[in-house]
Amino acid sequence: MVDKIETPELTGEIKIPKIEPGATSHYRPNQASEKHNNNLGFPGTRVENWQEKSIEKMDDLLSKYKSLLVYLDSCVRCGSCADKCHYFLGTKDPNNMPVARQELMRKVYRKNFTVGGSLFPVLSGAEDLTEDVMTEWYSYFHQCSQCRRCSVYCPYGIDTAEISMAAREIMDTAGIGQKYCNEILGKVMDVGNNLGLTKPALANTLEFLEEDVEEETGVPVKFPLDQEGADVLLIAPSADFFSTPHIEGFMGYAKVFHEAGISWTVSSYASEFANFGMFIGNYETMQKVATRIKDAARELKVKRVIVGECGHAWRVAYSFWNTLIGPFDFLDKKYKNPTHICEFTLELLDRDAIKVDLTANDNRVVTFHDSCNVSRGSRMGDSSGGQFEIPRKLIKKVCGNFVEMDSETIRELTFCCGGGGGLLTDELIELRVQGALPRAEALHEVMKERGVNTMAMICAICKAQFTKVLPSYGIDMEVVASLHQLVSDAIVLKGKVGV
């Protein structure tokens, strides 16, 4: 299917396109069924008085979110953000300029909540929430991956992600849900993970992994499940149990725990790090999903919570958990809770608690893709910018060949993979391919000029998205690697226990 998609050509530089109005107005994700909406407490189908309900919800959100209120008021249409969104760069559709995306909501806000907008709608660009406007909303608020790149460049820090989240919550409240997110949220709340993987299935998978690693290395690395009293509860995105190259990273975590002699466990009740509650902007849902993790940590009597490689989930964990489900006073205060697996592994390496042989990765020339939500919505370590330094230090410890991509495309200026924010669904494949354009350009350049053959990353969505879309650009999916996959290949397993 991928090869039929209109794939932009790689030109060797990231170009600002001439606008093509309406280019992607037909891109829209499938709508959620009655059941999926009801699961989350939303009306099953579009309610009769959807306009009224939507405006009511907007009013409610305006009183609850300073961000929404201030952002809707403050934009001066300076255009600083206009050419910064990967979806605009890849699709040329002007409604994918962050400011234009915001205007879709702002025009309704003006009409219903401002004096100027209700008195002089034409002058101020105010509009009612008509059927047409709702059609635009559904389409373009699902062409935003909530990556926050626009907010970096805005003189007021206006974050289009906040507006997309609000729009999605308003639509959900009116019974217009998105299938991909709502279906998955139902599963995580029912079964404990996005894949709907039951406890026996999960146990099987972990067993299989144990056999696999032992066969390959001769060392009996354990993958414990629901082990009460373990030191560490590991929360990984469920893709880590199945997908490639996620699973290679997951084996990496296990080897690190094994070598450090630290007991750990996965929980079958909270077997998901991802939290799509953020994507749909619904606080209560996000809180419910996160609460499972807290409950599991309590139940298993662990000392600390360590989390795996996932971008938006790390944002939720680092920035929101303390508010949503904190304080973590029942865990050992010696540790930062939650700890990112990269923080954990680097710390072990820094104090020589585990050994690596970096020649094991000599066949690789590695670059690092900063995941958007890690870069612009979280931190690692003790100082500002740790989310960039720690993964890089870690890569350099396990591989001798590291190359950076174009400086306009890394760290806080990184481009989203094109599949974040609840858009990682088949029916949006064209958008996903086009949205990956800026990253594909930057990657292609270092592959050509510097011999890069591996792009490491720490996000489950990035990994799934890139393995799927990079082939459209003629880039082999083997390039995509989990950061802990590199750790996994370089770590020296002695099989000894205790540090």
Partner 1 sequence: MGGLSALSVLFVFLSYAVTTLFIVGFLAKIFKYATTPAPLKIPTTPAPTSRGGVAARLLGELLLFTSLFRGNKWTWIGGYLFHFALALVLLRHLRYFLVPVPELVSFATEVGIWAGVLLPITAIYLFLRRVLVDRLKYISTGADYFVLILIGLIAITGLVMKFSFRADITSVKEFMVSLISLSPVNIPMDPVFILHLTLVLVLMAYFPFSKLIHMGGVFFSPSRNQVDNSRDVRHVNPWAKR
State the residues that interact with ligand SF4 by CB under 6 A: 75-81, 84-85, 87, 98-99, 101-102, 144-150, 153-156, 158, 160-161, 416
Given 23, 152, 189, 201, the residue binding partner 1 (CB under 8 A) = 152
**Are the C-beta atoms of 171 and 138 separated by less than 8 Å?**
yes
Determine which residue in the list 12, 22, 155, 495 makes contact with partner 1, applying CB under 8 A. Answer: 155
The rounded distance, in Å, linking the Cα atoms of 359 and 143 is: 42
Name, in order, each residue with C-beta under 8 angstroms of 82's C-beta and a sequence gap of 6 or more. 88, 97, 98, 99, 100
* Interface with partner 1, residue 22, by CB under 8 A: no
Q: CA gyration radius for the chain?
A: 23
Please say which residue, 12 or 21, places its beta carbon nearer to partner 1.
21
Q: Which residue has the tokens 């998955």?
A: 184
**CB-CB contact of 143 with 90 (8 Å):** no
Strand order in the sheet with 480-482: 366-368, 454-457, 480-482
Is the CB of 102 or the CB of 265 nearer to ligand SF4?
Answer: 102
Query: In the bound complex, what is the minimum distance in angstroms from residue 469's beta carbon to ligand SF4?
Result: 15
Q: Which does 312 bind (CB under 5 to 8 A by kind): partner 1, ligand SF4, none?
A: none
- Residues 455, 441: contact at Cβ < 8 Å? no
| Contact partner at residue 65 from partner 1, ligand SF4, none, CB < 5 to 8 Å by partner kind | partner 1
Residue 84 or residue 187: which is nearer to partner 1 going by CB? 84
Q: Which does 145 bind (CB under 5 to 8 A by kind): ligand SF4, partner 1, none?
A: ligand SF4
Closer Cβ to partner 1, 2 or 119, answer by number: 119
Q: Specify whether the CB–CB gap between 252 and 342 falls below 8 A.
A: no
CB of 141 to ligand SF4, least distance (A): 9
Least gap, CB of 434 to ligand SF4 (angstroms): 12
- Residue closer to ligand SF4 (CB basis): 159 or 272: 159
DSSP label at 82?
T
Binding site partner of 144, from partner 1, ligand SF4, none, Cβ cut-off 5-8 A by kind: ligand SF4
Give residues with Cβ within 8 angstroms of 215, minimum separation 6: none
In the complex with partner 1, the residue whose CB is nearer, 261 or 326, is: 326
Q: For partner 1, give the closer residue by CB, 94 or 418.
A: 94
Answer yes or no whether residue 353 interacts with partner 1 by CB under 8 A. Answer: no
In angstroms, rounded to a whole number, what is the distance separating the alpha carbons of residues 367 and 276?
A: 28
C-beta of 76 vs 499, nearer to partner 1: 76
Applying CB under 8 A, which of residues 44, 45, 47, 125 lies at the interface with partner 1?
A: 125
3-state helix, strand, coil in the chain (%, to 5): 55, 5, 40
114 binds, among ligand SF4, partner 1, none (CB under 5 to 8 A by kind): partner 1
Q: CB of 197: closest distance to ligand SF4 in angstroms? A: 29
Could you tell which of partner 1, ligand SF4, none binds residue 327, using a CB distance below 5 to 8 A set by kind?
Answer: partner 1
- CB 280: neighbour CB atoms within 10 A? 24
334 binding partner 1? (CB under 8 A): no
Q: What are phi and psi of 31, to 5 degrees?
A: -85, 150
Q: Which residues have C-beta within 8 Å of that of residue 232, sequence separation ≥ 6? A: 257, 262, 263, 264, 265, 302, 303, 304, 305, 306
Cβ proximity to partner 1, 69 vs 203, nearer residue: 69
Is residue 388 within 8 Å of 464, Cβ to Cβ? Answer: no
Beta strands 454-457 and 480-482 are: parallel
Type of residue numbered 499: V
79 binds partner 1 (CB under 8 A): yes
Span of 35-43, 123-131, 138-146, 481-489 interacting with partner 1 by CB under 8 A: 123-131
Stretch that binds partner 1, among 229-237, 244-252, 382-390, 483-491 (CB under 8 A): 382-390
Tokens standing for 96?
């994918």
Q: Which stretch binds partner 1 (CB under 8 A): 216-224, 252-260, 380-388, 463-471?
A: 380-388
Is 70 a binding residue for partner 1 by CB under 8 A? The answer is: yes
Bridge-partner residues for 264, per DSSP? 232
Phi, psi of 9 (to 5 degrees): -85, 145
CA pair distance 476, 342, nearest whole angstrom: 26
Minimum CB distance to partner 1 smaller for 64 or for 494: 64
94 binds partner 1 (CB under 8 A): yes
69 makes contact with partner 1 (CB under 8 A): yes
At closest approach, how far in Å is the CB of 97 from ligand SF4?
A: 8
Up-side HSE of residue 178: CA atoms within 13 Å toward CB?
31
Binding partner of residue 497 among partner 1, ligand SF4, none, CB under 5 to 8 Å per kind?
none
